[in-house]
Amino acid sequence: NAGVMQNPRHLVRRRGQEARLRCSPMKGHSHVYWYRQLPEEGLKFMVYLQKENIIDESGMPKERFSAEFPKEGPSILRIQQVVRGDSAAYFCASSPTRTGGHGYTFGSGTRLTVV
């Protein structure tokens, strides 16, 4: 039973390019959360999705960032026209219920570097 799978592990993009980060939740988990960790900072909530629905996107920057969790396939975090400030570790977590907490499992993260 694989855990939460994120890919790629490392992603390098030039300024202005698009970044697509993928997250496959644990089997049986239909709740997905995305968090961002900037250098020397703690993790910050970005967005919470269930299959085909965005439930809470209060942590998403207003522009350039979007997320989806289609009926089939992984959840995708998309960053358009990346800038240096987007360089960070992006972690996905899945949970069998929306209460999370001790039901959370985190993926290994995607380290995005914008050059």
Partner 1 sequence: RKEVEQDPGPFNVPEGATVAFNCTYSNSASQSFFWYRQDCRKEPKLLMSVYSSGNEDGRFTAQLNRASQYISLLIRDSKLSDSATYLCVVIHGSSNTGKLIFGQGTTLQVKP
Total residues interacting with partner 1, rule: CB under 8 A: 27
| Token reading at 79 | 């960053």
Whether 57 contacts 78, CB under 8 Å: no
Nearer to partner 1, 17 or 113 (CB): 113
Q: How far is the CB of 84 from partner 1 (least distance, A)?
A: 18
**107 near partner 1, rule: CB under 8 A:** yes
Q: Which residue has the tokens 């959370």?
A: 104
Applying CB under 8 A, which of residues 7, 30, 37, 113 lies at the interface with partner 1? 37
Q: How far is the CB of 67 from partner 1 (least distance, A)?
A: 13
Nearer to partner 1, 18 or 56 (CB): 56
Q: Residue 94 burial by CB count (10 A; 0-12/13-18/19+): exposed, middle or buried?
A: buried
Nearer to partner 1, 2 or 14 (CB): 2
| Token reading at 98 | 């929306």
Span near partner 1 by CB under 8 A; candidates 21-29, 60-68, 69-77, 91-99: 91-99
| Token reading at 46 | 């970005």
**31 near partner 1, rule: CB under 8 A:** yes
Whether 3 contacts 107, CB under 8 Å: yes
| Token reading at 69 | 């969790």
